[in-house]
Amino acid sequence: MFARRRRHLMDLAEPNSIIIVASAREVLRNGDAYFPFRQDSDFLYLTGFNEPDAVLVLIPERDGAQQILFCRERDPERERWDGPRLGLEGARETLGLDDSYPITDLDDILPGLMENCERIYHLVGRDPAFDQRIMGWRNQLQQQKRSMSAPEEFIALDHLLHELRLIKCSEEIKRMRKAGKIAADAHKRAMAHCRPGMTETDLTAELLYEFTRNGCPPSYLPIVAGGDHALILHYINNDQPLPDDGLVLIDAGCEVDGYASDITRTFPVNGTFSDAQRAVYEVVLKAQQAAIDQARPGKVFDDIHSTACRVLTEGLIELELLSGSVEENLEQQHYRRFYMHKTGHWLGLDVHDVGDYQIEGQSRVLEKNMVTTVEPALYIDHGDDIPAHFRGIGIRIEDDIRVTDGDPENLTDAVPTAVDAIEALMRG
């Protein structure tokens, strides 16, 4: 799979190119403790290699398309402290590469590999320090050779690579289904354990328990937002008591081999929706179902959002939170007081995954095996003009949707969204 991707990328590059992609680095958290290592998504996509201090080099026109990895050498002393490394031979064989060299030799070898290449593809701006090194290697070659043999052109690799990443293959879809299923189990666990008297922290623990026992890191910091904390879009403190009669909004997902899930559910802490909560919830759910139904080949990405906005607007008028006609409210975007974000984003190795949303200024046509979230919401503020029973209600419902030839595939529907099903799960 990884070799196929590398070949595909090399086929897409202009003639006489060299492609250079670096791994992520280890990042210090504090003192000498590190953040958990997360591989760079582009590097992971092309190698499946999960170690820091590595650089992939692809040279399509050298020796029948050369694929080279620079990585850490085996080192029994270091491995005793930090764990096993694949090493040069291991990396070459396991990852299907032509050659591997010690990462410590990068400065000596890379300028030579650039010789006779006209252009360098790299992820411009991803890591400015690495960009500087690439420039340095190229300048070094130019000075050594005093000839025309050094590359003249630097090209952003992002576009080529990210177009490949946007369309998922069957192996990727398998991993995303698994990430969806495990995250759904985590949400169900949180619903089933939720009781008045608990805290946001208690529910966070239930989510992390389910992720961890499945060997999955969270794909982002979970949001567990009781009551009107749900109105803070990026609430991550997760440390307050849950309101007995309020709702709790949970936005949490996990990773399988780097592939993310991203689910939001909103449910009543005491297990039963109040009339006002249910009324708002039903509007968001209806918007979500209508929006998911737009995720079909031939529709454009914006159809998902515009459908959600229309159904939300109709609902807001029925709830008397907006007045006037649907068309007038849509035109003036009055829904934005209660719904201020977009309805979805590509999903894959990154939670907010790569890939253009527009082509030549037009919303992009959906294709089979694109995966997007669909996550409409309503966040009702405490304004004097809002009826008291609606104030502070924040509801979002988010699923991960694969575009297929036919009906959209919901990768995360193992956790219910219907009011009755949520209440039954919480009772059980």
Enzyme catalytic residues: 32, 234, 251, 262, 341, 345, 352, 375, 379, 396, 398
Smaller CB separation from Mn ion, 137 or 346: 346
For residues 399 and 410, what is the distance between their CA atoms, to the nearest angstrom? 7
Strand ranges (DSSP E) for 271-398?
358-359, 362-363, 371-374, 377-379, 394-396
Binding pattern for the stretch 186-225 against Mn ion, x by CB under 5 A and - elsewhere: ----------------------------------------
For residues 341 and 335, what is the distance between their CA atoms, to the nearest angstrom? 11
Q: How far is the CB of 260 from ligand GLY (least distance, A)?
A: 9
Residue 109: contacted member of Mn ion, ligand GLY, none (CB under 5 to 8 Å, by partner type): none
For residues 208 and 214, what is the distance between their CA atoms, to the nearest angstrom? 10
Query: 261 to 320, contacts with ligand GLY by CB under 6 A?
Result: 262
Give the other-Cβ count within 10 Å of 379's Cβ.
Answer: 21
Smaller CB separation from ligand GLY, 92 or 265: 265
Smaller CB separation from Mn ion, 137 or 281: 281
Q: How far is the CB of 400 from Mn ion (least distance, A)?
A: 8
Name 156's bridge partners: 122
Residue 188: contacted member of Mn ion, ligand GLY, none (CB under 5 to 8 Å, by partner type): none
User: Comparing C-alpha atoms, which of 287, 308, 321 is closest to residue 390?
Assistant: 321
* β 119-122/17-22 pair status: parallel
Query: 329 to 388, contacts with Mn ion by CB under 5 A?
Result: 373
Smaller CB separation from Mn ion, 100 or 261: 261
Reduced to 3 states (helix: H, G, I; strand: E, B; else coil), residue 273 is coil
User: Comparing C-alpha atoms, which of 80, 26, 34 is closest to residue 54?
Assistant: 26
Query: 315 to 374, contacts with ligand GLY by CB under 6 A?
Result: 345, 351
Tell whether residue 262 is a contact of Mn ion (CB under 5 A).
yes
Q: Tell me if 397 sits within 8 A of 285, measured CB to CB.
A: yes
Binding pattern for the stretch 214-233 against ligand GLY, x by CB under 6 A and - elsewhere: ------x-------------
Chain centroid to CA 407: 23
Query: 397 to 426, contacts with ligand GLY by CB under 6 A?
Result: 398
For residues 36 and 33, what is the distance between their CA atoms, to the nearest angstrom? 9
Residue 220: contacted member of Mn ion, ligand GLY, none (CB under 5 to 8 Å, by partner type): ligand GLY
Q: How far is the CB of 396 from Mn ion (least distance, A)?
A: 8
φ, ψ of residue 189 to 5 degrees: the values are -60, -45
Query: 398 to 417, contacts with Mn ion by CB under 5 A?
Result: 398
H-helix or E-strand spanning residue 229: none
Smaller CB separation from Mn ion, 55 or 403: 403
User: Comparing C-alpha atoms, which of 240, 278, 253, 266 is closest to residue 390?
Assistant: 278
Can you tell me which of 350, 375, 400, 409 binds ligand GLY, judged by CB under 6 A? 375
The one segment of 20-28, 132-140, 209-217, 262-270 that binds Mn ion by CB under 5 A: 262-270
The one segment of 70-78, 294-302, 353-361, 392-400 that binds Mn ion by CB under 5 A: 392-400
The interaxial angle of helices 170-193 and 419-427, nearest 10 deg, is: 60
C-alpha angle 322/327/328, rounded to 5°?
60
- Residues of this chain that bind Mn ion (CB under 5 A): 251, 262, 373, 398
Question: What are the residues binding ligand GLY (CB under 6 A)?
Answer: 220, 251, 262, 345, 351, 375, 398
